Structure 1
Amino acid sequence: MRHFGQLGAEVRRRLFHLEPQSFDRRSDAPVLAAALGATLYCPATRPALAADVRRQAARGAVSMVLCLEDAIADSQVRAAEANLLTQLARLAAGPEDDLPLLFVRVRTAEQIGDLTRRLGAAARLLSGYVLPKFTEATGPGYLERLAEAEAALGQRLFGMPVLESPELAHLERRRSELLGVAEVLAKHRERVLAVRLGVTDLCAAYGLRRSPELTAYELPLVASAIGDVVNVLGRTDGTGFTLTGPVWEYFPLPGGGPELDGLRRELELDLANGLLGKTCVHPSQLPVVHARTVVSHEEYRDASDILRREAGGVSASDYRNKMNEAGPHRRWAERVLRRAAAFGVARAGVGFAELLSAVRGG
């Protein structure tokens, strides 16, 4: 699979200076973490879940989460599990090369081993599990059960912890909680693909809900939590992890709706704060996320110039509009090139609007 693979070859040549690289669920963890993109969440109760997965993959989804947690009612858990087993068996009976990276969001650590066992041969389709309400206290249980399931299956399984608990929202507990979570994650680094931010639950701790006109970064309480997570878990010194952007819960009404300007603005701020990828709840969000994540020609030229300068120093950018300082900007440049490998580099003069129009089929 690869991003924008649903576009025709001629369209890709017109849009991209460098096209996105191919990958599959057996690729190295850093490649997969950078390529997650818009991760589409689907309730595991959907009666046509297998068909939904194939349809969204054909439209450009490369990562999906089949949810047994907040997306379904408490009374639906057993029925949702049964449906999940049936739908994954249907997917396993067909071609697999065109499937996205598939994750299951569980409610408890015990579900990981139980579902892996009950899935049987269909478990091979899974790239891993999403671990909700992840804290210093609950984290070890999740990751230990994940390691056991991986050993029993004989196949790599990743975990994606979600930071969304009151321990993170409350200022007096946040520092110790984040440092504790960092220790837990460090012990299982090889199976942590990315760390996700659950901003809806952080808002819920204070009875807040942002409007479609506001990004998460315009709520000081949420912005401070994101900043602290990046500070502890997003470092580029080898101790950090890929962090994904918070869910955007608004989408156009059927038959049309306002442009997703708020989502685009939040994506700009996600990238500026070192977050890559986005939790999505509606297919209409995917083109916006992927179009904005493409590396611009200017970013690529700057990053390439910086990484060529082994001895340091300062130079004017090729676009003659900024200073490129090889030392301080090096890790930024490395991030840009990782994103470029996954999402491609736009041709000079090709921007968000043209990319979005192409992905939407306009």
Structure 2
Amino acid sequence: MTKRLSPYHLGATLYMPATRTDIASSILDNKIAGLRSIVICLEDAVSDADVPLALHNLQQILHTLAAAKTAGYGAKWPLVFIRPRHSEMGRALTACADLTAIDGLVLPKFTLASLPAWWDMVKDTHLCMMPTLETEEVFDVLQMRELATTLLAHPCHDRIIALRIGGNDLMNVIALRRPRNLTLYDSPMGYTIKMLVAVFGSRDFALTSPVCEHIDDHQVMERELALDMAHGLVGKTAIHPNQIAKIERALMVSPADHADALRILNSSQAVFKSQGAMCEPATHRRWALRVLERAQVYGIAADTLQDGVRLVTFTQQN
């Protein structure tokens, strides 16, 4: 996987229905400020009646993007993904469409049973994968453990940028909707996200956070973003451009975390105190590496850094 397709380069992933006619221009002209990744959606965002129109529009988008990429444009584009409606549509797209300007596919309703079909269509292409966990199986920790173990050993492993948590679909499974004045973590999804982080995060898979569909309630979204970061999620689905800046801001690293991360990686002490907290390099090293990798992409929240520490002094260690 190239550095460009690191999960830390996803940021706020904006979903746009494939029926929209301004997608190509939005990408080509970088019309949406701060956008790092976009998903052209042919699934839930498109009604059954509009599928033919969406597929026709997608072909026009792909032709425009491919021509622009051939002409030498595209280096500064956001990452571009397609979410097909199902594996049959995905197979048709990979077999017949020009996907040279596309970075990967978002795989809807992904399960262990659907893995062979998705991998068969992707394995001989350049495309990366973002499976979406959004079916009833996701609530079963044993099934998720089996899925994580299988993916870890499967050839698709190196193609998976991140696993996307499909919050609305999962809430639909249990006939619920997110409360308007509460975060997703205040619902049964709180347990589910924690479980998925434990199962997949312990196997070094990146996970992205579900959308906050209450677009105008900035306080709820900011509380939820703080919890997303506390759970180690690497990005968040967005459904409106006004959510992008808030997600980007949440992904920035605090000066305190940045300073601690550098001290942890550079210290020869087994345990030491920093900013009123215990730091233990043996157990905090992986956290520190991720903090600095995130800081390289999103920056540090404050203009004045602590102790004169500068991000450019960091070289990632393996």
- Contact kept in structure 1, 2:254 and 2:300, CA below 8 Å: yes
The one-letter code matched in structure 2 to 1:224 is Y
Secondary structure class of the residue paired with 2:179 = coil
The one-letter code matched in structure 2 to 1:204 is N
Q: 108, 119, 126: which is aligned to 2:97?
A: 119
Residue 294 of structure 1 pairs with residue 258 of structure 2 = no
Q: 209, 214, 221: which is aligned to 1:245?
A: 209
Q: CA deviation at 1:335?
A: 1.2
Q: 138, 143, 157: which is aligned to 1:168?
A: 138
Q: Distance in 2 between matches of 1:179 and 1:27?
A: 27
- Contact kept in structure 1, 2:43 and 2:85, CA below 8 Å: yes
Alignment of 1:1-362 (within 5 A): 27-28=2-3, 32-54=6-28, 58-94=32-68, 95-120=73-98, 123-148=99-124, 150=125, 156-169=126-139, 174-186=140-152, 187=154, 188-219=156-187, 221-235=188-202, 239-252=203-216, 260-309=218-267, 311-317=268-274, 320-348=275-303
C-alpha distance 306-36 of structure 1, shift in aligned 2 (>3 A) = same
The one-letter code matched in structure 2 to 1:206 is I
Q: Distance in 2 between matches of 1:195 and 1:39?
A: 13
- Contact kept in structure 1, 2:94 and 2:121, CA below 8 Å: no
Q: CA deviation at 1:57?
A: 5.1
CA RMSD of aligned residues (A): 1.9
Q: Distance in 2 between matches of 1:55 and 1:265?
A: 32
TM-score normalized by the length of structure 1? 0.78
1:8 corresponding residue in structure 2: none
Q: CA deviation at 1:28?
A: 2.6
Q: CA deviation at 1:157?
A: 1.0
What whole-Å deviation, never above 9, does each CA across 1:213-251 have from its counterpart, x for those lacking one?
Answer: 2111111x211111111111111xxx3211111111121
Q: CA deviation at 1:349?
A: 5.3
- Contact kept in structure 2, 1:44 and 1:81, CA below 8 Å: yes
TM-score normalized by the length of structure 2? 0.88
Q: Distance in 1 between matches of 2:80 and 2:132?
A: 16
Q: Distance in 2 between matches of 1:58 and 1:167?
A: 36
Further displaced range: 93-102 or 111-120: 111-120
Q: CA deviation at 1:97?
A: 2.4
Q: CA deviation at 1:337?
A: 0.9
The one-letter code matched in structure 1 to 2:272 is S
Q: CA deviation at 1:84?
A: 0.5
Q: Distance in 1 between matches of 2:300 and 2:32?
A: 22
The one-letter code matched in structure 1 to 2:163 is V
Q: Distance in 1 between matches of 2:50 and 2:29?
A: 24
C-alpha distance 114-218 of structure 1, shift in aligned 2 (>3 A) = same
The one-letter code matched in structure 2 to 1:28 is K
The one-letter code matched in structure 2 to 1:277 is G
- Contact kept in structure 2, 1:140 and 1:184, CA below 8 Å: no
The one-letter code matched in structure 2 to 1:313 is A
- Contact kept in structure 1, 2:32 and 2:241, CA below 8 Å: no
Structure possessing the higher relative contact order (Cα contacts under 8 Å, 6 or more residues apart): 1
What whole-Å deviation, never above 9, does each CA across 1:65-122 have from its counterpart, x for those lacking one?
Answer: 00010111122222211110102212333332232100000122232332134333xx
What whole-Å deviation, never above 9, does each CA across 1:244-272 have from its counterpart, x for those lacking one?
Answer: 111111213xxxxx5x1111111111111
- Contact kept in structure 2, 1:160 and 1:195, CA below 8 Å: yes
- Contact kept in structure 1, 2:30 and 2:77, CA below 8 Å: no
Q: Distance in 1 between matches of 2:80 and 2:167?
A: 22
Secondary structure class of the residue paired with 2:237 = strand
Question: Number of matched residues?
Answer: 299
Q: Which runs of 5+ in 1 are unaligned?
A: 1-25, 151-155, 253-257, 351-362
Q: Equivalent pairs: percent with the same residue?
A: 37
- Contact kept in structure 2, 1:56 and 1:283, CA below 8 Å: no
Q: CA deviation at 1:293?
A: 0.7
